[in-house]
Chains A and B, each alone.
Chain A
Amino acid sequence: MSRTTSLPKRIKIHFMFFPAILSDSTTVLEFQFSCSIPAPLHSENDYFGVCSEPVIKDNVVVVYEVLEEMLDNGFPLATESNILKELIKPPTILRTVVNTITGSTNVGDQLPTGQLSVVPWRRTGVKYTNNEAYFDVIEEIDAIIDKSGSTITAEIQGVIDACVKLTGMPDLTLSFMNPRLLDDVSFHPCVRFKRWESERILSFIPPDGNFRLLSYHVSAQNLVAIPVYVKHNISFRDSSSLGRFEITVGPKQTMGKTIEGVTVTSQMPKGVLNMNLTPSQGTHTFDPVTKMLSWDVGKINPQKLPSLKGTMSLQAGASKPDENPTINLQFKIQQLAISGLKVNRLDMYGEKYKPFKGIKYMTKAGKFQVRT
C-alpha cells in the first residue's frame, strides 16, 4: 500500500494489486485488507453489485472516492460499508440523473454520525416502513473420507449472515438452543463479548443492512455428521486397456432432509484416454484434455440412488496409473444446519414496534473429498 493515489488504474477486475511496499508492514493486515477492499465494492446492495473492469471504468470517480476514504498514508481506516455509503453515496441511475440536473454530487457533505460514535457500525436516523430482521445460518462442511468410507477429518465452517432493516437503534439478543456447540467463534464488532462469555447470548446493536454477525468453527469429530456417502469401484486393470468405473451416491445422516444440487467431480489420472459412462440420472462430462470428470447429479432420491457406471479406455501398453483419483462432492441441504445449531429466540429491545423475524438454515459442502 502506498501513498499513490491513482489507485483505480491498478484494479484488475476482482482483485486489488496494491503497489505494496512490503518492507516490514504487517502482511496479514495487507492480505486481510485487500480481501476486504473489493467487498464493499461488489457485494450485493453495496456499490456496484459486480466489480469488473467496465464497471470500474464507468465509476472511476466513485471508486477513487471510496478508496480514499478507506486508506490514508497506507493505514486502513474505514472499511464498514455502512459508513462508506454515508460518506460516498452509491451511484444509482436515479441519483445520476438528479445529479446531472441539480449539479449535486455523490459525496455526502455531512460527517457520518456513526464513524466516531460508540457504535461506529450503525448510522443514526434509520427509518423503515417494514421492519424486518432475517438471519441465515449457513454451514459448510469440509471433510476427508478415506477409501473404506470412514471419516479422516471433518469440520464445519459456519456463519450467521444477517439482513437487518430496523428503524432507530434496536438492541437485539439472539439465543441458541445449544450454544455449547460454539466454542470457536469470531464476532462482528457489534457483538458484546462480555455477555457472550458469561451467558452465551449474542447481544448487539446491529449494523444497518447486510452483515456477517458471526462465524464459527466446529471441529470436534463426534459433532460432525456426514450427510452423504459415496460407494466407488474404480479399477485400472494392468494389462488390458479398459478399466472399470462405478460410483453411487447416497444419503447418510440427513435428519430427513433432501440432498440437492449434488455434483461429483474427479480429476482422473493422465493415463485415462476417455470414459464411456452411463448415469442413472443427471448429466456427465469428461474432458479428455484436462482429464476432469464431472457429473451433475441433482437431487438424491433415497429410493433410487443415483449411480454412474461404465468403462475407461486407458493408454495401451502404459502401466497402471500411480495415483488414485479423489472424488470431490458438492451438495446443498436446505433447512438444516448439520452441526445441529438451532436459534432459540430473537428479542428486540430499545424500540417499540414489532419486527418481522426469520431464521433460515442451510448446509453446503465445502471441501468435501472422498479418497479412492
Chain B
Amino acid sequence: MTDSKYFTTTKKGEIFELKAELNSDKKEKKKEAVKKVIASMTVGKDVSALFPDVVNCMQTDNLELKKLVYLYLMNYAKSQPDMAIMAVNTFVKDCEDPNPLIRALAVRTMGCIRVDKITEYLCEPLRKCLKDEDPYVRKTAAVCVAKLHDINAQLVEDQGFLDTLKDLISDSNPMVVANAVAALSEIAESHPSSNLLDLNPQSINKLLTALNECTEWGQIFILDCLANYTPKDDREAQSICERVTPRLSHANSAVVLSAVKVLMKFMEMLSKDLDYYGTLLKKLAPPLVTLLSAEPELQYVALRNINLIVQKRPEILKHEMKVFFVKYNDPIYVKLEKLDIMIRLASQANIAQVLAELKEYATEVDVDFVRKAVRAIGRCAIKVEQSAERCVSTLLDLIQTKVNYVVQEAIVVIKDIFRKYPNKYESVIATLCENLDSLDEPEARAAMIWIVGEYAERIDNADELLESFLEGFHDESTQVQLQLLTAIVKLFLKKPTETQELVQQVLSLATQDSDNPDLRDRGYIYWRLLSTDPVAAKEVVLAEKPLISEETDLIEPTLLDELICYIGTLASVYHKPPMSGPPLATSSVQMGAVDLLGGGLDSLIGGTNFVAPPTAAVPANLGAPIGSGLNDLFDLTSGVGTLSGSYVAPKAVWLPAMKAKGLEISGTFTRQVGSISMDLQLTNKALQVMTDFAIQFNRNSFGLAPAAPLQVHAPLSPNQTVEISLPLSTVGSVMKMEPLNNLQVAVKNNIDVFYFSTLYPLHILFVEDGKMDRQMFLATWKDIPNENEAQFQIRDCPLNAEAASSKLQSSNIFTVAKRNVEGQDMLYQSLKLTNGIWVLAELRIQPGNPSCTLSLKCRAPEVSQHVYQAYETILKN
C-alpha cells in the first residue's frame, strides 16, 4: 500500500482512465486518482488535460485531497488561466473556513497562482487573512503579500497591503513579526525606493523582543533586518549588541552568522576604549570557531566569512590560529581557504608554529595544495618582517628535497622575497642556480631568469646561464621570452663589454623572428633606448623598484566594509558585492535618493525665490501664484528625475527680462547617468506671445554644444513659464575661453536674438569612469611634476571622510584610497574630464577642524582652480 504504484502505470489511454476515476462517486477512488495525477505531474508528464476534472475535486472536506488539488492548481493554473478562474470561488470560500489550517492553506496557495486575472479576486480574502484572529493565518498571509508583490507590485501598493504588512511588525505573535519582516525585506529588495523598512527605536525594540521568541529561521530574518539599521549613537548600538549577543550560542549556523554580521557592523560605532568592546571581541571568537566543526560545505562558507572578519578585525581570532590547521582529508577548497586565513593571522608571536605547519603541508600528496603551501611561506616572509630569515631557510630546506614542483614554486616566491627585501638574501642565489635544469614551468623559469638578470653583477656566469635559455627562445612561452629579453638587456647594461653579442642576438630574435607584438614592441623600445642614449637606458631599465607589500592581497577597505554588511550571503562567499540585478540598484539608487532630496529642495527654494518678485510686482495677476505653484511642482519633479546624478546648483537668472525684451532665462547645469544637460526656465514677461525658440553656443573650452534643438512645444504666452531640459554633448568645436568654464549662448525667438554668457560648474564634465586603480594612481601621482601641484583650503566644511567621500562620489569624484595619518584622514581621489584629462586629488580632513586641505595634481594645471571650485560647491551643498 505505498505511493510508488502511482508511478508505474505507463499504459496508453491513461488520461481517459484517470478522467473516469476523477469523476467517480467514490471518495476513495477519487483520492487515488488525484494521487496518480500528481505522480504523473511530478515525473514531468503533461496531465493538464485533466484540469476541469481535478478542479472539481476541490470541493472536499478532506484536507489531504485538498492539498493535492491545490498542488495541481499551482502547477497548471498558468497554462490554463481561463479554467483557473473556476477555482476562485473555492479559494474565497476556503479563506473563511472555520479551520485556520484551511484558511492558511488557501491563502498560501493563492499566492502561488501566478495568473493576473485571478490575483484581483484574491485581494479581499488576503485582506481578511492579514487581520485574521489566528496568528498561523496571519503569518501565512504576510508571506502571501510578498508573493503577490512579485506578481503585481502596483496592485499590492494600491490595495494598501504594504501598510498592513508594516503594522504586522508590531504584532503580538513573534512568528508573525518574523514573517512580516521577511516579506518586507524581500519586497524592499526589488523596490529600493519604497522606504519599507524605516526602522525607528520603537520598532527596533519590538524586533528585539520578537527575536528572543521566534523560531530559528525567523531569527535570521530579524537579524538581517537589524543589520540594515543605523543606531543613532554608541549607546543604542551597545544596547542592541547586548541583546543580540545570546544568538551567538544558537545551534543554527545561519543564526550565528547573521548575529555576527549585526555585531560586526554595530561595533564600528563603539569606542575601542570601552570595556564592552573588549568583551564583545572575546565573545565573537568561540562561535566562529564552532562553525568550523560543521559539514565541509558549511565550513567553506564559514571560512570565507571568517576571511573577511579577520581582515576587518584580526584581533578577534588572533589566538585561534590552531583551529585553521589543515587536516589531510579536508576537501581541497577548505584547505586552501584555511591556508589563506593562516597567513592573515600570522604574526611574530605564532610564526614558528605556522612555518612548521606549512613545511608539513609541503610534503602532502595534493600537488595544488603543496604549491599553495609553498607560496604561503613566501607570503609569510613578506608579511612578518622578523620572520623573513626563517622563511627563507624553510624554503631552502624545501628546495633541498628536489621535489620538482616544490622547487619551482619556491623559486617563484623567493623572487617576491627579493622584491621585498633587496640586498639581503642574495646568498641563496647559488643554491637556486643549481636547480636551473629542473625548471620546466614558465612561471618558475621566468622567475629564475628575472633573478639572474636582476643580480647579474653577482653571478659570475650570468651570461652563460642566460645564453643557455636563449637556445630554445622560440619554444618558450611569452612570459619567459619577455623576461629573458629584459634580463639580457639588464645584463648588458651591467657588463656591456662581454655581452654585446648576446644582447644583439636577443634583440634580433625578439624583433625580427617573433610574431608576438608585445615582445616585438618591447624589443624595439630597448633597441631604440640602447642605441640613442645608453645612460637613459640604464636609468629606465635599472630603475629602483618600489617594494612590494602584503597589502596587495588584502581586500580594499571600502569594499571590505561593504562586504561585512553582506556576511552570510553569497556576496561574502564570492568576496564580491552583489553587482548585478536588484541589489546594485538598491545601493546606487539609495545614494541617489539622499542626493535627490537635497537637489529637489534646493531647486524648490531657488524656484520660489525667483518667481516671487513678479507676483509682488503684478499683484492683480492671479495667474502668477498658480504659475509659481506649478513651478514648484516642476522643480520637484526635476529633482526626482535627478536619480544618482551629481550635484545640481539652484537655478540662477542668466538673462534678465529687461535685457531681452521680456524674456527671462534662468537655468542650471546637471549631469545624470553620463549625460549633461542644461535645465532652462523660460519666462515670458512681455505682453506678447513668444514662439520660434532656438539656441546656439559659441565655441568653448570643452566643446559643449546642444545635442538637440531647443524644443518649446507651445507658444509661450505672457506670464507663462516653461521648463526645458536641453541635452548637451561635448563634441562641439573647441576654443579655449577665459575663464576656462565660460559659455556664450545665443537664444532666438520671434522677437529678436539675445546673447548672454554663463559659467558652468566643472563637475558636470566629470565622467563616470573616472576611478583610477590604486597602482595607476600612485604611478601617475609620482609622474606628474611637483610644479603642477596646486593647494587649496576649503573652509567651513565640517564633514567627515566618509560623508565627504560619498558626497563627492555622487558627482563622479572617486575615492581611490584612504588612510589615516596622525589623526588626519587622507582621501586620495581621482576624476576624469570629458576630454580625457585626469585630475588627481588628495583631500586632507582633520576631525574637528572645519576646513580641509585639497591638493590637486593634473597635467593641465589650468583646470585645478575650477576643480577646486567644484569641490567647494559639492562639499558645501
Give the B-binding residues of A (Cβ under 8 A).
3, 5-6, 8-9, 22-29, 31-33, 35-36, 54, 57-62, 64-65, 68, 72-73, 75-80, 96-97, 100, 103, 105-107, 109-111, 115-116, 118, 120, 142, 144, 146, 152-153, 155, 157, 183-189, 193, 197, 212, 215, 217, 219, 221, 267, 269, 322-324, 326, 328, 367, 369, 371
Contacts and interface: CB of A to CB of B under 8 A. Distances in A.
B100 A111 contact: yes
Nearest to A191: B249
Interface string B4-28: 1011000000000000000000011
A76 B217 contact: yes
A26 B249 CA distance: 19
Contacts of B136: 111, 115-116
A107 B360 contact: no
Contacts of A58: 2-4
A57 to B, nearest CB: 4
A269 B325 contact: no
A86 to B, nearest CB: 11
22 contacts: A24-B569, A26-B258, A27-B572, A28-B257, A28-B258, A29-B217, A29-B254, A35-B294, A36-B252, A75-B217, A78-B215, A111-B100, A152-B357, A153-B325, A183-B286, A215-B290, A219-B323, A221-B322, A267-B365, A322-B401, A326-B328, A367-B327
A28 B38 CA distance: 32
A217 B293 CA distance: 9
A197 B74 CA distance: 48
Contacts of B320: 219
A25 B28 CA distance: 42
B112 interface: yes
Contact of B64 (A33, A75, A106): A106
A31 B111 contact: no
B157 to A, nearest CB: 19
Contacts of A157: 293
B349 interface: no
B173 A116 contact: yes
Contact of A59 (B3, B294, B322, B325): B3
Contacts of B406: 322
Contacts, number: 223
B614 to A, nearest CB: 52
A186 B101 contact: no
Contacts of A105: 62-65
Nearest to B298: A31
Contact of A187 (B101, B249, B570): B249
A184 B298 contact: no
B173 A73 contact: no
A65 B38 CA distance: 12
Interface centre among B67, B135, B287, B581 (most CB of A within 10 A): B67
Of A68, A118, A215, which is in contact with the most chain B CB atoms at under 10 Å from its CB? A68
Given A54-B4, A75-B143, A106-B64, A111 B570 contact: no
Contact of A61 (B64, B144, B186, B290): B64
Interface string B244-275: 00100111111011100000000000000000
A68 B557 CA distance: 43
B289 A217 contact: yes
Interface in B353-379: 357, 360, 363-365
B435 to A, nearest CB: 15
A97 B6 CA distance: 18
Contacts of B43: 9
A65 to B, nearest CB: 6
B808 interface: no
A120 B176 CA distance: 14
Interface string B386-407: 0000000000000001010010
Interface string B129-172: 00000111000100110110000000000000000000000000
Contacts of A322: 363, 401, 403, 406
Contacts of A59: 2-3
Nearest to A53: B4
B68 to A, nearest CB: 7
B35 interface: yes
B569 A212 contact: no
A335 to B, nearest CB: 24
B850 interface: no
A185 to B, nearest CB: 6
B798 interface: no
Interface in B203-239: 213, 215-217, 220-221, 224
Given A25-B570, A322-B363, A367-B329, A188 B3 contact: no
Nearest to A87: B101
A324 B302 CA distance: 30
B75 A5 contact: yes
B74 to A, nearest CB: 5
B39 interface: yes
B301 interface: yes
Given A28-B568, A97-B1, A212 B251 contact: yes
Given A6-B42, A118-B213, A27 B246 contact: no
How big is chain B's contact interface, by range? Answer: 35 or more
A47 B677 CA distance: 67
A68 B256 CA distance: 26
A211 to B, nearest CB: 10
A152 B216 CA distance: 36
A155 B290 CA distance: 11
B182 A32 contact: no
Contacts of B550: none
Contacts of B112: 3, 5
Nearest to B111: A73
Contacts of B216: 79, 189
B189 interface: yes
Given A57-B4, A61-B35, A153-B322, A27 B568 contact: yes
A31 B301 contact: yes
Contacts of B250: 186-187, 189
Given A26-B254, A193-B249, A73 B297 contact: no
A62 B3 CA distance: 9
Given A28-B258, A60-B6, A187-B251, 5 more contacts: A28-B301, A28-B305, A73-B143, A100-B28, A185-B249
B582 A144 contact: no
Contacts of B44: 9
Given A61-B68, A72-B143, A152-B357, A109 B99 contact: yes
Among all A-B residue pairs, the 9 with the closest Cβ atoms? A184-B286, A105-B64, A58-B2, A29-B254, A76-B217, A57-B4, A28-B254, A186-B251, A32-B254
Nearest to B300: A31
B364 A323 contact: yes
Contact of B41 (A6, A26, A68): A6
A78 B143 CA distance: 14
A132 to B, nearest CB: 24
Nearest to A368: B327
Nearest to A3: B112
Nearest to B102: A109
A215 B292 CA distance: 13
A83 to B, nearest CB: 9
Most chain B CB inside 10 Å of its own CB: which residue of A28, A58, A75, A146: A28
B108 interface: yes
A325 to B, nearest CB: 9
A193 B251 CA distance: 13
Contacts of B287: 184, 186
Interface in B765-821: none
A62 B67 CA distance: 11
A29 B302 CA distance: 12
Contacts of B403: 322
B329 A328 contact: yes
A180 to B, nearest CB: 14
A61 B69 CA distance: 12
A23 B573 CA distance: 12
B578 interface: yes
Contacts of B360: 146, 371
